[in-house]
Structures are given as C-alpha cells and as structure tokens.
Amino acid sequence: MKVLVTGAAGFIGYHVSKRLLERGDEVVGIDSVNSYYDPQIKEARLRLLEETSRKTNAGYHFIRGNLADKSVVDGCFAEHA
C-alpha cells in the first residue's frame, strides 16, 4: 500500500512512517521542516526513515514543502498517485 504522511519529520509523523515502512508499505512523506522546534531533530528523523527504508526495501519518498503550497501538493500527486 502507498501512504501519504504529512508532517513526516515531526514526532507522530516520524513514528507512523517508520511503522508503515517496517510493515512494508511505501511511504510518501511531506514536511516543511520549519523551526517550530529544533530542525536538527527533524533532519535526524528523516535520515532514520531513509535507513529504515533501505533495511526493509520499502519505498520512501520525501518532499520538503508546505501543504499550503498548491504546487507542492499538485506535484506530489502527479508524481506519486
């Protein structure tokens, strides 16, 4: 199954994405990686998701962007639908 996870670098989005990848699902994550809290934590989580994807052979695609930006959303669905 292919799943879109918004806020993929945040606490909940990271854990949901990780569990889906471990289950073998393909994950498309979107996050703006803003400075609401330490962006280094978010970047570390994204690296861990890449690592989990490699270990499980599950597809992982990350889009750095804001859901309020229509071109980001349109591009996501054009590429991953």
- Nearest residue to 75 via CA among 1, 2, 4: 4
Domain count for the chain: 1
Q: Which two tokens stand for residue 62?
A: 């990350």
With 0.85 as the threshold, say if the pTM is over it. yes
For residue 24, what is the domain's CATH number?
Answer: 3.40.50.720
- Please report which confidence band the pLDDT of residue 73 belongs to, taking 50, 70 and 90 as the band edges: very high
For residue 75, give its domain range: 2-80
Neighbours of 62 (CB within 10 A): 19
Residue pLDDT, tens place only, 30-70: 999 999 989 999 999 999 999 999 999 999 999 999 999 99
pLDDT at 54: 97
